[in-house]
Structure 1
């Protein structure tokens, strides 16, 4: 069976930036072991698998090491892929059945808008030395239902130059670590971040949509605005707009297709 495959850079308008994801279009379900093997073969932070089910698309996300509950950039890539394959058109809203419930993606002239569940920041209680693991003093800390730990630092430069102890944070009782800071005066964004998930086999993710389901309400409360511009300061870099509306977060960004092929 040949499986159509696209590799797409998400949350960017430039090739070879943003966060790459592979998207596979299935005509029938495959065993989880085979899906995991394909994701390991792709060796990207996420591989998305699409399967139509009449009223919506079934969507699953796999890292090279495991399946995950929520992934923003691979959902954005999946919407872009369906448009590339002629299965969707501009102006259409796509529906995805996922492990995080029903998600939607709207194709527009301003890129792709994802409708995701908000992750309210919760208090984080731990005796761990967070500053030692991250490599910088921590101003504030939060957690979320996804198991992401959000650590605020004092400056953009601290976030940019951070070199965390990957072995140490891989032992922390969390799914991933999101490091963030408010932007500086004159920047064309409102806050910056980086994302580390060594437990998923991802030392650093280039641009992480799911993290912004936590970052958006956190910075909404601190900055007093519902709509914010975000930048992730990985080596590849990426940008997106976030907007908090009730218990949902809208993530808006662009995607660029860089590879077309098929799996045998």
Structure 2
């Protein structure tokens, strides 16, 4: 039997039982992909993050990967933020920034003076498309035009108001037919710049509580529409979360807080 530490952190919140819970498993070397997938299924959270140290001469400190119960993903915000929290607060990382290498390229997380952690993520391009029939079948009356994010396999629908986002009740059985593609819905916010929700039933996540990575798309969209680079976002799921976002050319700053929930060990054969 081998033992590995496991941490669970609620991301994009300052209190437990809100935000988005992520499992974090630090490793010395990669486990078999099928084993990491089994751990993610066992954890049954939207994401389990695994990271290993980078080489001594590498331009990153750690290599990070993320698994949902349905498979590996290319980019994840809340589990990256949770991983950085573990490094800063449990694993004695003594620098103000930790650099990760990922399937989506370099990612950074910087510890701010106010206990917020800021992700340095890519600015993801999106293109205008005709709204797929599956989305119309799942949600009913929605815009005829949507946006598609090719580098993150998501669709995005912009609705009229916050209430429409909060009241949306997609048919998950229909939405699941998108496979590994997810759906972002968003609208102007009443007490913030914009709100959103995110659904990915094809990846084993009916609704993700707070999704850092989708703000790599939401931030450039709303920054252009509202005419300002710095934005406050609220993901209005049942658990909810607040994010501070800033457009910086080809990068996006996405900041949030984190609340520690538990730590323990997993026993593997």
Which residue, out of 114, 117, 132, partners 2:119? 114
Matched residues in 2 for 1:263 and 1:99: separation? 26
Greater displacement, 115-124 / 60-69: 115-124
Q: Structure 2 regions of 5+ residues with no counterpart?
A: none
- The list of structure 1 runs, each at least 4 consecutive aligned residues, that deviate by more than 6 angstroms after superposition, is none
Shift of 1:174: 6.4
Aligned to 1:125: 130
Matched residues in 2 for 1:48 and 1:125: separation? 34
Aligned to 1:196: 199
Matched residues in 2 for 1:198 and 1:173: separation? 8
Matched, 1:95 2:99: yes
Shift of 1:120: 2.0
Aligned to 1:9: 10
Matched, 1:226 2:232: no
TM-score after normalising by structure 1: 0.94
Matched, 1:170 2:173: no
Shift of 1:87: 3.1
Judged with a 3 Å threshold, the aligned counterparts in structure 2 of structure 1 residues 180 and 139 are, in CA distance, closer, same or farther, namely: farther
Is the 2:178–2:202 contact (alpha carbons within 8 Å) kept by the matching residues of 1? no
TM-score after normalising by structure 2: 0.92
Matched residues in 2 for 1:80 and 1:209: separation? 15
Partner SS, residue 171 of structure 1:
helix
Partner SS, residue 194 of structure 1:
strand
Number of residues paired by the alignment?
Answer: 260
Which residue, out of 154, 169, 178, partners 2:160? 154
Q: Structure 1 regions of 5+ residues with no counterpart?
A: none
Deviations 1:213-253 (A, max 9, x none): 11111111111111100000111000101100001110000
CA RMSD of aligned residues (A): 1.5
Shift of 1:164: 0.2
Shift of 1:126: 4.5
Which residue, out of 140, 143, 146, partners 2:148? 143
Partner SS, residue 265 of structure 2:
strand
Aligned to 1:63: 68
Is the 1:139–1:151 contact (alpha carbons within 8 Å) kept by the matching residues of 2? no
